[in-house]
A and B are shown apart, each in its own frame.
Chain A
Amino acid sequence: MRWTRRDVSALGAGLAYLAPSLILFTAFVFVPLGRTMYLSLYNTRSTGQPTSFAGLDNYTELLTSEAFRTGLVATTLFTLYTVPAGIALGLVLAVLLNQRLRGINVFRTMMASTIAISAAVGSLIWLLLFNPSLGLLDYVLSILGIQGPDWLLQPATAIIAVSITTIWLTLGTNIIVLLSGLQSVPEEIYEAARLDGARGFRMFSRITVPMVSPSLFFLLVVDTIAVLQAFTQIHILTRGGPVDSTRVLVYGIYLDAFVNFQFGFASAQAVVLFVLVLALTIIQFRFIERRVHYQ
Protein backbone atom coordinates (compact mmCIF):
# COMPACT_ATOMS: atom_id res chain seq x y z
CA MET A 1 0.00 0.00 0.00
CA ARG A 2 1.51 3.25 -1.10
CA TRP A 3 1.00 6.43 0.81
CA THR A 4 -0.22 9.27 -1.36
CA ARG A 5 0.21 12.86 -0.29
CA ARG A 6 -3.50 12.88 0.46
CA ASP A 7 -3.20 9.90 2.84
CA VAL A 8 -0.47 11.67 4.72
CA SER A 9 -2.41 14.87 5.11
CA ALA A 10 -5.56 12.93 6.18
CA LEU A 11 -3.51 11.15 8.82
CA GLY A 12 -2.05 14.47 9.90
CA ALA A 13 -5.52 15.95 10.34
CA GLY A 14 -6.68 12.91 12.30
CA LEU A 15 -3.64 12.95 14.56
CA ALA A 16 -4.12 16.65 15.24
CA TYR A 17 -7.50 15.87 16.81
CA LEU A 18 -6.18 12.85 18.66
CA ALA A 19 -3.01 14.55 19.87
CA PRO A 20 -4.25 15.94 23.22
CA SER A 21 -5.52 12.51 24.31
CA LEU A 22 -2.54 10.66 22.85
CA ILE A 23 -0.04 12.89 24.64
CA LEU A 24 -1.81 12.38 27.97
CA PHE A 25 -2.15 8.61 27.47
CA THR A 26 1.51 8.37 26.53
CA ALA A 27 2.66 10.38 29.52
CA PHE A 28 0.38 8.83 32.16
CA VAL A 29 -0.55 5.37 30.88
CA PHE A 30 1.73 3.83 28.24
CA VAL A 31 5.13 5.09 29.37
CA PRO A 32 4.35 4.46 33.07
CA LEU A 33 3.22 0.91 32.25
CA GLY A 34 6.53 0.33 30.50
CA ARG A 35 8.38 1.89 33.41
CA THR A 36 6.54 -0.35 35.87
CA MET A 37 7.75 -3.39 33.95
CA TYR A 38 11.26 -1.92 33.71
CA LEU A 39 11.41 -1.11 37.43
CA SER A 40 10.22 -4.61 38.27
CA LEU A 41 13.47 -5.95 36.81
CA TYR A 42 15.70 -3.64 38.85
CA ASN A 43 16.88 -3.04 42.35
CA THR A 44 15.92 0.48 43.34
CA ARG A 45 17.11 3.12 45.73
CA SER A 46 14.58 4.41 48.27
CA THR A 47 14.15 7.47 46.03
CA GLY A 48 12.91 5.27 43.21
CA GLN A 49 16.02 5.36 40.99
CA PRO A 50 17.02 1.96 39.62
CA THR A 51 20.48 0.93 40.81
CA SER A 52 21.31 -2.47 39.37
CA PHE A 53 19.69 -4.99 37.07
CA ALA A 54 17.99 -7.68 39.11
CA GLY A 55 16.55 -9.89 36.39
CA LEU A 56 13.65 -11.84 37.76
CA ASP A 57 14.88 -11.54 41.36
CA ASN A 58 11.93 -9.40 42.38
CA TYR A 59 9.55 -11.98 40.98
CA THR A 60 11.25 -14.95 42.64
CA GLU A 61 11.30 -12.97 45.87
CA LEU A 62 7.55 -12.39 45.41
CA LEU A 63 6.82 -16.05 44.93
CA THR A 64 8.72 -16.99 48.07
CA SER A 65 7.44 -14.06 50.12
CA GLU A 66 5.05 -14.94 52.90
CA ALA A 67 3.34 -11.53 52.69
CA PHE A 68 2.67 -11.91 48.97
CA ARG A 69 1.15 -15.34 49.44
CA THR A 70 -1.13 -14.15 52.25
CA GLY A 71 -1.89 -11.22 49.95
CA LEU A 72 -3.05 -13.52 47.17
CA VAL A 73 -5.19 -15.47 49.63
CA ALA A 74 -6.67 -12.20 50.88
CA THR A 75 -7.34 -11.02 47.32
CA THR A 76 -9.04 -14.31 46.44
CA LEU A 77 -11.18 -14.36 49.59
CA PHE A 78 -12.08 -10.69 49.14
CA THR A 79 -13.19 -11.38 45.55
CA LEU A 80 -15.15 -14.51 46.49
CA TYR A 81 -16.90 -12.84 49.42
CA THR A 82 -17.71 -9.65 47.52
CA VAL A 83 -18.54 -10.32 43.87
CA PRO A 84 -21.10 -13.18 43.88
CA ALA A 85 -22.96 -11.89 46.93
CA GLY A 86 -22.97 -8.34 45.58
CA ILE A 87 -24.39 -9.41 42.22
CA ALA A 88 -26.99 -11.73 43.79
CA LEU A 89 -28.18 -9.02 46.15
CA GLY A 90 -28.22 -6.52 43.30
CA LEU A 91 -30.35 -8.87 41.19
CA VAL A 92 -32.91 -9.46 43.93
CA LEU A 93 -33.25 -5.73 44.55
CA ALA A 94 -33.38 -4.95 40.82
CA VAL A 95 -36.24 -7.45 40.35
CA LEU A 96 -38.02 -5.74 43.23
CA LEU A 97 -37.48 -2.35 41.61
CA ASN A 98 -38.59 -3.55 38.18
CA GLN A 99 -42.31 -2.99 38.86
CA ARG A 100 -44.71 -0.48 37.45
CA LEU A 101 -45.78 1.27 40.62
CA ARG A 102 -46.50 4.88 41.43
CA GLY A 103 -43.48 6.47 43.06
CA ILE A 104 -41.10 3.64 42.11
CA ASN A 105 -38.48 6.21 41.11
CA VAL A 106 -38.09 7.32 44.70
CA PHE A 107 -37.13 3.78 45.69
CA ARG A 108 -34.84 3.44 42.69
CA THR A 109 -32.97 6.59 43.65
CA MET A 110 -32.71 5.49 47.28
CA MET A 111 -31.31 2.07 46.43
CA ALA A 112 -28.99 3.46 43.76
CA SER A 113 -27.69 6.11 46.18
CA THR A 114 -24.44 4.27 46.88
CA ILE A 115 -23.24 5.08 43.32
CA ALA A 116 -22.59 8.60 44.46
CA ILE A 117 -20.96 7.59 47.75
CA SER A 118 -17.18 7.58 47.71
CA ALA A 119 -15.23 4.66 49.11
CA ALA A 120 -13.79 6.96 51.79
CA VAL A 121 -17.21 8.14 52.99
CA GLY A 122 -18.66 4.62 52.92
CA SER A 123 -15.70 3.17 54.78
CA LEU A 124 -15.89 5.80 57.54
CA ILE A 125 -19.56 4.99 58.11
CA TRP A 126 -18.90 1.25 58.22
CA LEU A 127 -15.95 1.85 60.55
CA LEU A 128 -18.54 3.08 63.03
CA LEU A 129 -20.98 0.25 62.29
CA PHE A 130 -18.27 -2.35 62.94
CA ASN A 131 -17.25 -0.74 66.24
CA PRO A 132 -17.86 -3.43 68.89
CA SER A 133 -19.12 -1.11 71.63
CA LEU A 134 -20.69 1.82 69.74
CA GLY A 135 -21.64 0.14 66.46
CA LEU A 136 -25.16 -1.05 65.73
CA LEU A 137 -24.06 -4.25 64.01
CA ASP A 138 -22.94 -6.14 67.11
CA TYR A 139 -25.91 -4.74 69.04
CA VAL A 140 -28.35 -6.16 66.44
CA LEU A 141 -26.48 -9.47 66.57
CA SER A 142 -26.73 -9.49 70.37
CA ILE A 143 -30.50 -9.10 70.14
CA LEU A 144 -30.48 -12.21 67.96
CA GLY A 145 -28.47 -13.92 70.69
CA ILE A 146 -25.20 -13.88 68.77
CA GLN A 147 -22.02 -12.64 70.36
CA GLY A 148 -20.77 -10.18 67.75
CA PRO A 149 -17.07 -10.36 66.90
CA ASP A 150 -14.52 -7.60 67.20
CA TRP A 151 -14.80 -7.27 63.43
CA LEU A 152 -11.64 -5.42 62.48
CA LEU A 153 -9.29 -7.03 65.00
CA GLN A 154 -9.61 -10.67 63.94
CA PRO A 155 -8.16 -11.90 60.63
CA ALA A 156 -11.20 -14.02 59.68
CA THR A 157 -13.73 -11.26 60.27
CA ALA A 158 -11.62 -8.31 59.07
CA ILE A 159 -11.73 -9.56 55.47
CA ILE A 160 -15.49 -10.12 55.83
CA ALA A 161 -15.93 -6.58 57.15
CA VAL A 162 -14.02 -5.15 54.19
CA SER A 163 -16.13 -7.29 51.86
CA ILE A 164 -19.44 -6.16 53.40
CA THR A 165 -18.38 -2.54 52.98
CA THR A 166 -17.43 -3.18 49.36
CA ILE A 167 -20.71 -4.97 48.60
CA TRP A 168 -22.59 -1.96 49.91
CA LEU A 169 -20.43 0.46 47.91
CA THR A 170 -20.98 -1.41 44.61
CA LEU A 171 -24.66 -2.19 45.21
CA GLY A 172 -25.90 0.96 43.47
CA THR A 173 -24.00 0.19 40.27
CA ASN A 174 -25.09 -3.44 40.30
CA ILE A 175 -28.75 -2.49 40.78
CA ILE A 176 -28.75 0.03 37.94
CA VAL A 177 -27.00 -2.24 35.46
CA LEU A 178 -29.29 -5.18 36.29
CA LEU A 179 -32.41 -3.03 36.30
CA SER A 180 -31.68 -1.80 32.80
CA GLY A 181 -31.02 -5.41 31.79
CA LEU A 182 -34.39 -6.43 33.22
CA GLN A 183 -36.14 -3.57 31.47
CA SER A 184 -34.88 -4.71 28.09
CA VAL A 185 -36.57 -8.12 28.51
CA PRO A 186 -39.78 -8.06 26.43
CA GLU A 187 -42.96 -8.38 28.49
CA GLU A 188 -44.28 -11.09 26.12
CA ILE A 189 -41.65 -13.52 27.33
CA TYR A 190 -42.95 -13.26 30.90
CA GLU A 191 -46.52 -13.57 29.68
CA ALA A 192 -45.75 -16.68 27.67
CA ALA A 193 -44.00 -18.23 30.67
CA ARG A 194 -46.93 -17.32 32.89
CA LEU A 195 -49.31 -19.03 30.48
CA ASP A 196 -47.09 -22.09 30.71
CA GLY A 197 -47.61 -22.01 34.47
CA ALA A 198 -44.27 -20.55 35.56
CA ARG A 199 -44.50 -18.68 38.87
CA GLY A 200 -42.33 -17.25 41.62
CA PHE A 201 -38.91 -18.82 41.97
CA ARG A 202 -39.32 -20.95 38.84
CA MET A 203 -40.00 -17.82 36.80
CA PHE A 204 -36.97 -16.18 38.40
CA SER A 205 -34.54 -19.04 37.78
CA ARG A 206 -35.80 -20.16 34.36
CA ILE A 207 -36.69 -16.82 32.74
CA THR A 208 -35.29 -13.81 34.57
CA VAL A 209 -31.76 -15.05 35.25
CA PRO A 210 -31.07 -16.35 31.72
CA MET A 211 -32.53 -13.21 30.16
CA VAL A 212 -30.22 -10.90 32.13
CA SER A 213 -27.20 -13.18 31.85
CA PRO A 214 -25.31 -10.66 29.67
CA SER A 215 -25.65 -8.04 32.42
CA LEU A 216 -24.69 -10.62 35.06
CA PHE A 217 -21.57 -11.53 33.12
CA PHE A 218 -20.68 -7.90 32.54
CA LEU A 219 -20.92 -7.23 36.28
CA LEU A 220 -18.94 -10.36 37.12
CA VAL A 221 -15.98 -9.00 35.17
CA VAL A 222 -16.39 -5.32 36.06
CA ASP A 223 -16.93 -5.99 39.77
CA THR A 224 -13.97 -8.39 39.92
CA ILE A 225 -11.71 -5.77 38.32
CA ALA A 226 -13.04 -3.15 40.75
CA VAL A 227 -12.35 -5.45 43.72
CA LEU A 228 -8.81 -6.09 42.46
CA GLN A 229 -8.29 -2.30 42.46
CA ALA A 230 -9.87 -1.61 45.86
CA PHE A 231 -7.62 0.41 48.12
CA THR A 232 -9.60 2.98 50.11
CA GLN A 233 -11.74 0.54 52.13
CA ILE A 234 -8.65 -1.30 53.27
CA HIS A 235 -6.66 1.82 54.05
CA ILE A 236 -9.46 3.22 56.21
CA LEU A 237 -10.79 0.04 57.83
CA THR A 238 -7.82 -2.25 58.42
CA ARG A 239 -4.57 -0.92 56.89
CA GLY A 240 -3.91 -4.40 55.57
CA GLY A 241 -4.09 -6.05 58.99
CA PRO A 242 -4.57 -7.78 61.30
CA VAL A 243 -1.51 -9.95 60.51
CA ASP A 244 -1.72 -9.19 56.78
CA SER A 245 -5.18 -10.76 56.50
CA THR A 246 -6.46 -7.87 54.35
CA ARG A 247 -3.19 -7.07 52.60
CA VAL A 248 -4.65 -7.48 49.09
CA LEU A 249 -2.53 -7.02 45.97
CA VAL A 250 -3.09 -3.26 45.62
CA TYR A 251 -2.46 -2.70 49.29
CA GLY A 252 0.78 -4.65 49.01
CA ILE A 253 1.86 -2.34 46.16
CA TYR A 254 1.10 0.67 48.36
CA LEU A 255 2.93 -0.69 51.41
CA ASP A 256 6.02 -1.86 49.55
CA ALA A 257 6.32 1.25 47.36
CA PHE A 258 5.22 4.11 49.57
CA VAL A 259 5.85 2.83 53.09
CA ASN A 260 8.84 0.49 52.62
CA PHE A 261 10.22 2.35 49.55
CA GLN A 262 11.04 -0.87 47.68
CA PHE A 263 9.89 0.43 44.32
CA GLY A 264 11.29 -2.44 42.24
CA PHE A 265 9.70 -5.11 44.41
CA ALA A 266 6.39 -3.20 44.45
CA SER A 267 6.52 -2.82 40.66
CA ALA A 268 6.69 -6.59 40.27
CA GLN A 269 3.39 -6.77 42.19
CA ALA A 270 1.96 -4.04 39.95
CA VAL A 271 2.83 -6.16 36.92
CA VAL A 272 0.96 -9.10 38.48
CA LEU A 273 -2.06 -6.82 38.98
CA PHE A 274 -1.85 -5.64 35.37
CA VAL A 275 -1.73 -9.20 34.03
CA LEU A 276 -4.78 -10.20 36.11
CA VAL A 277 -6.86 -7.24 34.93
CA LEU A 278 -5.72 -7.73 31.34
CA ALA A 279 -6.81 -11.37 31.41
CA LEU A 280 -10.24 -10.43 32.79
CA THR A 281 -10.72 -7.71 30.18
CA ILE A 282 -9.81 -10.04 27.34
CA ILE A 283 -12.35 -12.57 28.62
CA GLN A 284 -14.94 -9.80 28.63
CA PHE A 285 -14.17 -8.65 25.08
CA ARG A 286 -14.26 -12.23 23.81
CA PHE A 287 -17.63 -12.71 25.42
CA ILE A 288 -19.12 -9.53 24.00
CA GLU A 289 -17.90 -10.47 20.55
CA ARG A 290 -19.62 -13.83 20.83
CA ARG A 291 -22.83 -12.21 21.98
CA VAL A 292 -22.87 -9.79 19.08
CA HIS A 293 -22.49 -12.72 16.66
CA TYR A 294 -25.19 -14.56 18.50
CA GLN A 295 -27.60 -11.69 18.02
Chain B
Amino acid sequence: MLANYALLIVTSLLVAFPLLLALSYSFMSESEIATFPPPVFPTRPSLDNYGTVFATIPIGRYLVNSFVVSTAVVIGQLVTASLAAYAFAFLVFRGRQLLFFLFLSTLMIPWEATIIPNYLTIRQVGWLDTFQGLAVPFMATAFGTFLLRQAFLQIPRELWDAARIDGASTFRFLRSTVIPLSRPALGTVAIYGFLSTYNQYFWPLLITNQTLMRTTQVGVAQLRFEETLRWGLVMAGVIMVALPTLALLVLGQRQLIRGLTAGAVKG
Protein backbone atom coordinates (compact mmCIF):
# COMPACT_ATOMS: atom_id res chain seq x y z
CA MET B 1 0.00 0.00 0.00
CA LEU B 2 2.59 2.57 1.14
CA ALA B 3 5.04 1.37 -1.50
CA ASN B 4 2.32 1.88 -4.12
CA TYR B 5 1.75 5.44 -3.02
CA ALA B 6 5.48 6.17 -2.92
CA LEU B 7 5.86 4.85 -6.46
CA LEU B 8 2.86 6.86 -7.68
CA ILE B 9 4.12 10.05 -6.07
CA VAL B 10 7.61 9.70 -7.51
CA THR B 11 6.47 8.82 -11.04
CA SER B 12 3.77 11.47 -11.27
CA LEU B 13 6.21 14.10 -10.02
CA LEU B 14 8.68 12.96 -12.68
CA VAL B 15 6.06 13.19 -15.44
CA ALA B 16 4.89 16.61 -14.29
CA PHE B 17 8.45 17.73 -13.51
CA PRO B 18 9.08 19.89 -16.60
CA LEU B 19 5.86 21.75 -15.94
CA LEU B 20 6.56 22.19 -12.22
CA LEU B 21 10.07 23.36 -13.05
CA ALA B 22 8.71 25.96 -15.47
CA LEU B 23 6.44 27.21 -12.69
CA SER B 24 9.33 27.37 -10.25
CA TYR B 25 11.64 29.17 -12.71
CA SER B 26 8.95 31.73 -13.45
CA PHE B 27 9.39 32.97 -9.85
CA MET B 28 13.21 33.19 -10.03
CA SER B 29 15.45 36.10 -10.91
CA GLU B 30 17.86 35.75 -13.84
CA SER B 31 20.87 35.75 -11.51
CA GLU B 32 19.42 32.90 -9.51
CA ILE B 33 18.73 30.86 -12.65
CA ALA B 34 22.37 31.32 -13.66
CA THR B 35 23.75 29.84 -10.42
CA PHE B 36 25.38 26.42 -10.35
CA PRO B 37 24.16 23.78 -9.65
CA PRO B 38 20.89 24.66 -11.41
CA PRO B 39 18.32 25.55 -8.73
CA VAL B 40 14.99 23.77 -8.40
CA PHE B 41 13.16 26.01 -5.94
CA PRO B 42 13.28 29.82 -5.87
CA THR B 43 14.99 31.18 -2.75
CA ARG B 44 13.14 34.50 -2.94
CA PRO B 45 10.04 33.92 -5.10
CA SER B 46 8.90 37.01 -6.96
CA LEU B 47 6.29 37.89 -9.54
CA ASP B 48 8.65 40.25 -11.37
CA ASN B 49 8.93 38.01 -14.43
CA TYR B 50 5.17 38.13 -14.95
CA GLY B 51 5.22 41.91 -14.89
CA THR B 52 8.11 41.91 -17.35
CA VAL B 53 6.17 39.63 -19.74
CA PHE B 54 3.41 42.25 -19.88
CA ALA B 55 5.99 44.96 -20.48
CA THR B 56 7.80 42.99 -23.21
CA ILE B 57 5.04 41.50 -25.37
CA PRO B 58 1.31 42.28 -25.72
CA ILE B 59 0.45 38.99 -23.97
CA GLY B 60 -3.05 40.21 -23.09
CA ARG B 61 -3.77 40.81 -26.75
CA TYR B 62 -2.36 37.38 -27.66
CA LEU B 63 -4.66 35.73 -25.12
CA VAL B 64 -7.66 37.65 -26.47
CA ASN B 65 -6.74 36.64 -30.04
CA SER B 66 -6.42 32.99 -29.09
CA PHE B 67 -9.71 33.03 -27.20
CA VAL B 68 -11.56 34.73 -30.06
CA VAL B 69 -10.21 32.29 -32.65
CA SER B 70 -10.72 29.18 -30.49
CA THR B 71 -14.26 30.19 -29.50
CA ALA B 72 -15.15 30.91 -33.12
CA VAL B 73 -13.83 27.49 -34.16
CA VAL B 74 -15.78 25.77 -31.36
CA ILE B 75 -19.05 27.48 -32.32
CA GLY B 76 -18.45 26.75 -36.00
CA GLN B 77 -17.64 23.09 -35.34
CA LEU B 78 -20.66 22.61 -33.06
CA VAL B 79 -22.99 24.01 -35.73
CA THR B 80 -21.54 22.25 -38.78
CA ALA B 81 -20.95 18.93 -36.99
CA SER B 82 -24.38 18.71 -35.35
CA LEU B 83 -26.14 19.50 -38.64
CA ALA B 84 -24.10 16.88 -40.49
CA ALA B 85 -24.34 14.27 -37.72
CA TYR B 86 -28.10 14.78 -37.63
CA ALA B 87 -28.39 14.04 -41.33
CA PHE B 88 -26.26 10.92 -40.95
CA ALA B 89 -28.14 9.68 -37.87
CA PHE B 90 -31.80 10.48 -38.66
CA LEU B 91 -32.41 11.31 -42.31
CA VAL B 92 -32.70 8.63 -44.94
CA PHE B 93 -31.46 9.52 -48.41
CA ARG B 94 -29.58 7.95 -51.26
CA GLY B 95 -25.82 8.37 -51.16
CA ARG B 96 -25.76 8.78 -47.39
CA GLN B 97 -23.16 6.04 -46.98
CA LEU B 98 -20.99 7.51 -49.69
CA LEU B 99 -21.15 10.98 -48.16
CA PHE B 100 -20.33 9.59 -44.73
CA PHE B 101 -17.28 7.92 -46.20
CA LEU B 102 -16.34 11.22 -47.84
CA PHE B 103 -16.44 12.87 -44.39
CA LEU B 104 -14.31 10.13 -42.86
CA SER B 105 -11.82 10.36 -45.72
CA THR B 106 -10.82 13.84 -44.54
CA LEU B 107 -9.30 12.12 -41.49
CA MET B 108 -6.73 10.53 -43.78
CA ILE B 109 -5.53 13.84 -45.15
CA PRO B 110 -2.94 15.49 -42.91
CA TRP B 111 -3.36 19.26 -42.69
CA GLU B 112 0.34 19.68 -43.52
CA ALA B 113 -0.22 18.03 -46.91
CA THR B 114 -2.67 20.77 -47.87
CA ILE B 115 -1.00 23.67 -46.10
CA ILE B 116 0.64 25.15 -49.21
CA PRO B 117 -2.55 25.64 -51.27
CA ASN B 118 -4.42 26.72 -48.14
CA TYR B 119 -1.82 29.38 -47.47
CA LEU B 120 -2.03 30.55 -51.09
CA THR B 121 -5.86 30.69 -50.87
CA ILE B 122 -5.89 32.64 -47.63
CA ARG B 123 -3.35 35.09 -49.04
CA GLN B 124 -5.33 35.45 -52.26
CA VAL B 125 -8.59 36.32 -50.49
CA GLY B 126 -6.75 38.79 -48.26
CA TRP B 127 -7.22 36.85 -45.04
CA LEU B 128 -3.59 37.00 -43.85
CA ASP B 129 -3.50 38.60 -40.37
CA THR B 130 -7.24 38.16 -39.84
CA PHE B 131 -9.39 36.19 -37.40
CA GLN B 132 -11.25 34.62 -40.34
CA GLY B 133 -7.99 33.31 -41.75
CA LEU B 134 -7.13 31.74 -38.41
CA ALA B 135 -10.55 30.24 -37.71
CA VAL B 136 -12.60 29.46 -40.84
CA PRO B 137 -10.43 26.62 -42.25
CA PHE B 138 -11.03 24.62 -39.05
CA MET B 139 -14.78 25.11 -38.64
CA ALA B 140 -15.74 21.69 -40.02
CA THR B 141 -14.72 18.50 -38.24
CA ALA B 142 -15.07 14.90 -39.36
CA PHE B 143 -14.02 13.63 -35.94
CA GLY B 144 -16.68 15.76 -34.23
CA THR B 145 -19.32 14.71 -36.76
CA PHE B 146 -18.46 11.07 -36.14
CA LEU B 147 -18.62 11.53 -32.37
CA LEU B 148 -21.96 13.36 -32.50
CA ARG B 149 -23.44 10.83 -34.88
CA GLN B 150 -22.63 8.09 -32.38
CA ALA B 151 -24.38 10.09 -29.65
CA PHE B 152 -27.40 10.89 -31.86
CA LEU B 153 -27.83 7.20 -32.69
CA GLN B 154 -28.37 6.50 -28.97
CA ILE B 155 -31.52 8.64 -29.01
CA PRO B 156 -34.61 6.37 -29.11
CA ARG B 157 -36.25 6.17 -32.52
CA GLU B 158 -39.66 6.47 -30.81
CA LEU B 159 -38.95 10.12 -30.06
CA TRP B 160 -38.33 10.72 -33.75
CA ASP B 161 -41.50 8.91 -34.74
CA ALA B 162 -43.54 10.78 -32.14
CA ALA B 163 -42.17 14.12 -33.33
CA ARG B 164 -43.06 13.21 -36.93
CA ILE B 165 -46.60 12.34 -35.91
CA ASP B 166 -46.87 15.62 -34.01
CA GLY B 167 -45.92 17.33 -37.24
CA ALA B 168 -42.67 18.80 -35.94
CA SER B 169 -40.30 19.83 -38.69
CA THR B 170 -37.00 17.95 -39.02
CA PHE B 171 -35.10 21.02 -37.93
CA ARG B 172 -37.28 21.53 -34.86
CA PHE B 173 -36.63 17.96 -33.74
CA LEU B 174 -32.88 18.63 -33.95
CA ARG B 175 -33.17 21.87 -32.02
CA SER B 176 -35.63 20.89 -29.32
CA THR B 177 -34.87 17.19 -28.76
CA VAL B 178 -31.57 15.98 -30.22
CA ILE B 179 -29.34 18.87 -29.13
CA PRO B 180 -30.56 19.00 -25.49
CA LEU B 181 -30.19 15.22 -25.16
CA SER B 182 -26.63 15.24 -26.49
CA ARG B 183 -24.97 17.76 -24.19
CA PRO B 184 -22.12 15.47 -23.04
CA ALA B 185 -21.04 14.67 -26.60
CA LEU B 186 -21.34 18.33 -27.60
CA GLY B 187 -19.15 19.14 -24.59
CA THR B 188 -16.51 16.71 -25.79
CA VAL B 189 -16.48 18.24 -29.27
CA ALA B 190 -16.29 21.74 -27.79
CA ILE B 191 -13.38 20.99 -25.44
CA TYR B 192 -11.52 19.17 -28.16
CA GLY B 193 -12.00 21.96 -30.67
CA PHE B 194 -10.95 24.61 -28.18
CA LEU B 195 -7.83 22.79 -27.02
CA SER B 196 -6.58 21.91 -30.48
CA THR B 197 -7.18 25.41 -31.85
CA TYR B 198 -5.70 27.19 -28.84
CA ASN B 199 -2.59 25.00 -29.06
CA GLN B 200 -2.00 25.50 -32.81
CA TYR B 201 1.39 26.78 -33.86
CA PHE B 202 2.20 26.08 -37.54
CA TRP B 203 -0.84 27.73 -39.13
CA PRO B 204 -0.86 30.95 -37.06
CA LEU B 205 2.91 31.18 -37.55
CA LEU B 206 2.39 31.10 -41.32
CA ILE B 207 -0.52 33.46 -41.74
CA THR B 208 0.13 36.14 -39.12
CA ASN B 209 2.84 38.76 -39.46
CA GLN B 210 1.54 41.72 -37.49
CA THR B 211 2.42 41.57 -33.82
CA LEU B 212 -1.15 42.36 -32.80
CA MET B 213 -2.59 39.40 -34.70
CA ARG B 214 -0.29 36.81 -33.15
CA THR B 215 -1.80 34.04 -31.05
CA THR B 216 -0.46 32.96 -27.66
CA GLN B 217 1.62 30.02 -28.89
CA VAL B 218 3.48 31.95 -31.56
CA GLY B 219 3.74 35.03 -29.35
CA VAL B 220 5.25 33.24 -26.38
CA ALA B 221 7.76 31.43 -28.57
CA GLN B 222 8.99 34.85 -29.73
CA LEU B 223 10.14 35.56 -26.16
CA ARG B 224 13.27 33.53 -26.79
CA PHE B 225 14.38 36.06 -29.41
CA GLU B 226 14.60 39.02 -27.00
CA GLU B 227 18.01 40.73 -27.02
CA THR B 228 19.13 38.69 -24.05
CA LEU B 229 17.52 35.35 -23.50
CA ARG B 230 15.86 35.60 -20.08
CA TRP B 231 14.67 32.17 -19.03
CA GLY B 232 12.60 33.39 -16.09
CA LEU B 233 10.70 35.59 -18.52
CA VAL B 234 10.17 32.77 -21.01
CA MET B 235 8.91 30.46 -18.26
CA ALA B 236 6.51 33.10 -16.91
CA GLY B 237 5.13 33.44 -20.44
CA VAL B 238 4.89 29.67 -20.78
CA ILE B 239 2.89 29.39 -17.54
CA MET B 240 0.50 32.17 -18.57
CA VAL B 241 -0.13 30.50 -21.93
CA ALA B 242 -0.53 27.00 -20.45
CA LEU B 243 -2.82 28.04 -17.59
CA PRO B 244 -6.11 28.19 -19.57
CA THR B 245 -5.53 24.74 -21.07
CA LEU B 246 -4.59 23.23 -17.72
CA ALA B 247 -7.78 24.68 -16.23
CA LEU B 248 -9.72 23.15 -19.10
CA LEU B 249 -8.07 19.80 -18.42
CA VAL B 250 -9.12 19.84 -14.78
CA LEU B 251 -12.68 20.98 -15.54
CA GLY B 252 -13.30 18.90 -18.64
CA GLN B 253 -11.28 15.77 -17.95
CA ARG B 254 -14.29 13.45 -18.37
CA GLN B 255 -15.20 14.89 -21.76
CA LEU B 256 -11.59 14.81 -22.94
CA ILE B 257 -11.15 11.18 -21.98
CA ARG B 258 -14.34 10.25 -23.80
CA GLY B 259 -13.02 11.90 -26.93
CA LEU B 260 -9.58 10.31 -26.77
CA THR B 261 -10.88 6.83 -26.21
CA ALA B 262 -13.68 7.00 -28.78
CA GLY B 263 -11.37 5.69 -31.47
CA ALA B 264 -9.48 3.19 -29.35
CA VAL B 265 -12.11 1.17 -27.56
CA LYS B 266 -15.20 1.47 -29.70
CA GLY B 267 -13.35 0.28 -32.75
Contacts and interface: CB of A to CB of B under 8 A. Distances in A.
Given A17-B86, A235-B201, A116 B21 contact: no
* A-B pairs, 9 with minimum CB distance: A118-B199, A24-B140, A32-B114, A17-B87, A35-B117, A32-B117, A116-B249, A14-B93, A274-B113
A78 to B, nearest CB: 15
Given A18-B99, A180-B261, A215-B264, A118 B92 contact: no
Nearest to A105: B253
Nearest to A110: B12
A14 B15 contact: no
B115 interface: yes
A120 B18 contact: no
Interface stretch (B44-52, B158-166, B233-241): B233-241
A177 B33 CA distance: 37
Interface string B234-267: 1100100110011011100100110011011101
A48 B120 contact: yes
A20 B79 contact: yes
B34 to A, nearest CB: 7
B201 A232 contact: yes
A236 B116 contact: no
- Interface size band for A: 35 or more
Given A25-B106, A129-B21, A273-B113, 7 more contacts: A17-B87, A28-B118, A116-B195, A124-B223, A180-B261, A236-B221, A274-B110
Interface of B: 1, 4-5, 7-9, 11-13, 15-16, 18-19, 21-22, 25, 33-34, 36-38, 40, 79-81, 83-84, 86-87, 91-96, 99, 102-103, 106-121, 123, 136-137, 139-142, 145, 170, 195, 198-199, 201-202, 205-206, 217-218, 220-221, 223-224, 231, 234-235, 238, 241-242, 245-246, 248-250, 253, 256-257, 260-261, 263-265, 267
11 contacts: A10-B94, A18-B83, A21-B84, A25-B102, A39-B116, A110-B16, A117-B246, A124-B234, A171-B15, A277-B108, A277-B110
A21 B143 CA distance: 12
Contacts of B220: 120-121, 124
Given A128-B235, A231-B202, A7 B93 contact: yes
A232 B217 CA distance: 10
A209 to B, nearest CB: 15
Contact of B114 (A28, A168, A292): A28
Contact of A11 (B93, B119, B170): B93
Contacts of A117: 19, 242, 245-246
A15 B260 CA distance: 29
Interface of A: 3, 7, 10-11, 13-15, 17-18, 20-22, 24-25, 27-33, 35-36, 39, 48, 93, 96-97, 99, 101, 104, 107, 109-129, 133-136, 139, 168, 171, 173, 176-177, 180-181, 184, 214-215, 218-219, 222, 225, 228-229, 231-232, 235-236, 250, 253-254, 257-258, 263, 266-267, 270-271, 273-274, 277-278, 281-282, 288, 291-292
B110 A291 contact: no
Contacts of B99: 14, 18, 22
Nearest to A143: B37
A283 to B, nearest CB: 11
B108 to A, nearest CB: 4
Contact of A115 (B11, B145, B234, B249): B249
A176 B224 CA distance: 32
A120 B94 contact: no
B140 A115 contact: no
A115 B139 CA distance: 22
A29 B264 contact: no
A210 to B, nearest CB: 16
A180 B22 contact: no
Contacts of A29: 106, 109, 114
B11 A96 contact: yes
B265 A110 contact: no
Contact of A32 (B22, B121, B264): B121
A258 B87 contact: no
Contacts of B218: 120
A128 B109 contact: no
B76 to A, nearest CB: 8
Nearest to A284: B263
B114 A11 contact: no
B246 A118 contact: no
